Amino acid sequence: MQKHNPAGTRTLKTQVLIIGGGVTGTGVMRDLALRNISSILIDRKDLNAGASGSNHGLLHSGGRYVAQDLETAIECRIEGDILKRVAANCIDDCGGMFVAVEGDDEEFANNFPNHCQAAGIACESLSSKEARKREPSLSKNIIAAFSVPDATIDPFRLTLENVSHAQQLTKSTYLPHSEVYGFDIVDGEIVATLVKDSRVGELLRIESDQVVNAGGAWAMKIAKLAGCNDVKLLYSKGTLIISNSRMSRGVINRLRLPGDGDILVPGGTVSLLGTTSATIADPNNIHPNVDEVDRILAQGISMVPALADARFIRAFAGVRPLLMTSNDVGDGRKASRGFALFDHEKQNLRNFATVTGGKLTTFRLMAEQVGDLIAKRLGSDAKCKTATQQLPSGIGVRWTEPGFSARDWYKRQDPTDRILCECEMVPESSIDNILKEAPGSEVEMSLKAISLRSRVGKGSCQGAFCSIRVTSHLYDKGVYNSDSGLSHLRDFVKERFKGVRPVLWGPQVAQMELAEALHCALMGLDNQTNARAKRKPEQNGSKEDL
């Protein structure tokens, strides 16, 4: 049975292999670790590379779903309450509001408190004056307003803490840029998962008792690789934009049936406005575009007029994995309308499970149900502990929190600890700590990976200066020692550009002009591209300095 074992393949062994480093996958990793089950978590890119890293960061009170989907609304309420208790580190319990403006459906607005009551969601009616006192940026044209217990959650910190905690509890590990290319299946069991390190090309064979597919929008593709045709997803692209200042105290939802640009969510020092929803054929290579941004903004302005003059620093897009029908083919165990857990037993696989669909707010419940199934299969009677066990915070996972780097830097009072990213006040010591302690840190860590675990490049210059400074620092530290460091820099600014491009107007155009002057005229990164492309055919190219 070694047909999938080409020369040079390294073999790793673990109890459970988890595919997908989003909130669900990392949630499963921690859920299992709390049951004393160890795992290897892999992601073809890095943590939160899919929908987990491209959403509002909204911890739903459930208010959003009361009118159409009572079950999901209740689920959100219960899970939101649990997370506020166990993951307070990652949550800003800022509250939220639903508002209707002139022209919105009055009847829909009038029914809202009753719907909330049915779902058990605390909801208080506010006069227009009260609403505007709480949220001064609201439009004067409000016809109805209700407060609800919405909150915000930092999905990056959540994911990092999940991994960090799992690693503390067990021998669990996380491997970034590791993509599944096949499964070795013998007699209804996956004996090994075949993985390729997309950065260095190394092949890995991961032997595990159980395999969990938490691939989110990629779950259907992964299931098919294992020969399972029961997972059926619809891909829905959603785009959001980020302003460079916080536009409101709490969450502001439009009181109407869900549409574009109807939720404004604060995220520390910034605000996020979104989203769009468009069905797409493939979840790969999506990026936000100008039309979507203009549409979201136009909608948002009718609720919060100040958005018209706000400065937007970035847009981003994610893909929601939506379950195709509620009428499952039979072997998927339907857990709720929002998400589904497939045990794949009717597809003749005994040690494979897929979980997909769902929401950030319900990730813990999804992980719990996976944990229950896997524990049962492994013969463990350990119960789920994530509803009561606090998510512990560690220094290696706190750098995504706005202002944390700055406070830590100030406390150190070390004059030799220099600020590398001025927009977000990230000093050398934060970067060094991430290199040392952050989950998924590696010997040659890319700028992108560092940015994911910190605030680097997230301020108004979007990495124009700090990308260059951090790169130099990494060369000085010996993390980079060849021209690959410049490639990381190039990859980072290229990636940032995709998000910046659709919001380039006003002062951001000047910012972009400066960034391009730095990256091209000063650093020559555009020429480096050509040099690389050209070098390929001529093997011993003598022009490596071009």
Partner 1 sequence: MIRETRSIQTQLAIVGTGLGGLAAGIFAKYRGIKSAQVGHTGAITYTTGYFDLLGGLLGEQILDPWQGLSSLKKHYPKHPLVRIAKEDIHKALNLFNKELNNMGIGYSEPGNTNLMALLPSGVCKPTISVPLTMLAGVKAKEAKSPTLLIDFVGLQGFSAVEFVANLKKSWPLLTAQRIAFPDMIEGQQVFPEVMARALEVPSTRQKLAETIKPFIGNAKYLGLPSILGINKPDLIHNNMEELLGVKVFEIPSIPPSVPGMRLRELFEQKFVDKNVTLIPQHKVEHIELNDDGAKLFFKDPFGDIEISCKATILASGRFLSGGLKAEQQNIVETLLNIPVTQPTGRDDWYQEKYFDPKGHNINQVGVEIDNNFRPLNTKGEPINRRLFAAGTIIAHQDWVRQRCGAGVSLSTAYQAVKYAAKVLD
Rounded least distance, CB 182 to partner 1, Å: 32
- Minimum separation from the CB atom of position 499 to partner 1 (A): 11
61, 167, 480, 488: residue in contact with partner 1 (rule CB under 8 A): 480
Q: Is 291 in the site for partner 1 (CB under 8 A)?
A: yes
Long-range contacts of 177-182 (CB under 8 A, 24+ apart): 177/43, 177/44, 177/45, 177/46, 178/42, 178/43, 178/44, 178/204, 179/42, 179/44, 180/19, 180/42, 180/44, 180/222, 180/225, 181/225, 182/4, 182/225
Q: Which stretch binds partner 1 (CB under 8 A): 12-20, 228-236, 337-345, 483-491?
A: 483-491
Residue pair 198/178 in contact (Cβ under 8 Å)? The answer is yes
Stretch that binds partner 1, among 57-65, 437-445, 447-455, 521-529 (CB under 8 A): 521-529
Q: Is 493 in the site for partner 1 (CB under 8 A)?
A: yes
Number of residues that bind partner 1 (CB under 8 A): 56
Q: Looking at 43-105, which runs of residues are DSSP E strands?
A: 58-59, 91-92, 96-101
Q: Nearest 5°: CA angle at 279, between 240 and 247?
A: 15
Write out the binding residues for partner 1, residues 381-420 only, by CB under 8 A: 415-416, 418, 420
Alpha-carbon Rg for the chain in angstroms: 24
Comparing CA positions, the residue from 359, 358, 330 lying closest to residue 346 is: 330
Q: Which amino acid is at 382?
A: A
Out of 482, 536, 538, 539, point to the residue binding partner 1 (CB under 8 A): 482
Question: Contact with partner 1 (CB under 8 A): which of 5, 289, 429, 460?
Answer: 289
Shortest distance (Å) from residue 9 CB to partner 1: 31
Phi, psi at residue 77, to the nearest 5°?
A: -60, -50
Shortest Å distance, C-beta 528 to partner 1 = 6
Q: Which is nearer to partner 1, 397 or 493 (CB)?
A: 493
Sign of CA dihedral 430, 432, 438, 440: positive
- Candidates 165-173, 326-334, 351-359, 496-504: pick the segment binding partner 1 (CB under 8 A): 496-504
Q: How far is the CB of 428 from partner 1 (least distance, A)?
A: 9
The reply to whether 545 sits near partner 1 by the rule CB under 8 A is yes
How far is Cα 46 from Cα 34, in angstroms, rounded to an integer? 23
The residue (of 273 and 420) whose beta carbon lies closer to partner 1 is: 420
Query: Rule CB under 8 A: is residue 481 a binding residue for partner 1?
Result: yes
Tokens of 82: 């649990």
Q: By the 8 A CB rule, do 76 and 114 touch? A: no
Q: Least Å distance between CB 426 and partner 1? A: 12
CA distance 52 to 57: 9
CB atoms within 10 A of CB 182: 13
Rounded Cα gap, residues 61 and 115, in angstroms: 13
Contact between 444 and 484 (Cβ < 8 Å): yes
Span from 259-267, 270-278, 343-351, 495-503 in contact with partner 1 (CB under 8 A) = 495-503
Task: Measure the CA–CA gap between 436 and 354, rounded to whole angstroms.
Answer: 33
Q: Which of 521, 535, 536, 539 forms a contact with partner 1 (CB under 8 A)?
A: 521
**In terms of CB distance, is 223 or 304 closer to partner 1?**
304
Distance CA 47, CA 178 (A): 11
Residue 300 Cβ vs partner 1, minimum distance, rounded to whole Å: 13
For 77-215, strand residue ranges (E) read 91-92, 96-101, 124-126, 142-148, 151-153, 173-175, 178-186, 189-197, 203-213
One of 67, 486, 488, 536 touching partner 1 (CB under 8 A): 486
**Closest distance of CB 489 from partner 1, Å:** 8
Asked if residue 284 binds partner 1 (CB under 8 A), the reply is no
Q: How far is the CB of 421 from partner 1 (least distance, A)?
A: 11
> Looking at 69, 203, 225, 475, which residue binds partner 1 (CB under 8 A)?
475
Q: Are 307 and 250 in contact (CB under 8 A)?
A: no
Binder of partner 1 out of 56, 177, 364, 473 (CB under 8 A): 473
Binding partner 1 (rule: CB under 8 A), the pick from 166, 529, 536, 537 is 529
Tokens 């040079």 map to which residue?
A: 8
Instruction: Give the shortest CB-546-to-partner 1 separation in angstroms.
Output: 6
Q: How far is the C-alpha of 343 from the C-alpha of 332, rounded, in Å?
A: 6
Q: How many whole angstroms from its chain centre is CA 32?
A: 21
Residue 212 CA to residue 19 CA, distance in Å, equals 6
Please, which of residues 453-472 interact with partner 1 by CB under 8 A?
A: 465, 468-469, 471-472
User: For residue 244, what are its two tokens?
Assistant: 């460079």
What is the C-alpha to C-alpha distance for residues 263 and 300, in angstroms, rounded to an integer?
A: 8
Residues 499-518 that bind partner 1 (CB under 8 A): 501, 504-506, 509-510, 512-514, 516-518
C-beta closer to partner 1: residue 118 or 521: 521
Q: What is the nearest approach in angstroms of partner 1 to the Cβ of residue 378?
A: 47
Which residue in 118, 122, 290, 329 binds partner 1 (CB under 8 A)?
290
In the bound complex, what is the minimum distance in angstroms from residue 523's beta carbon to partner 1?
4
Q: Closest distance between partner 1 and the C-beta of residue 520, in Å?
A: 5
Per-residue x/- marks for partner 1, 171-210, CB under 8 A?
Answer: ----------------------------------------
- Binding interface with partner 1 (CB under 8 A): 287, 289-291, 294, 415-416, 418, 420, 465, 468-469, 471-473, 475-476, 480-483, 485-486, 490, 493-494, 497-498, 501, 504-506, 509-510, 512-514, 516-530, 542, 544-546
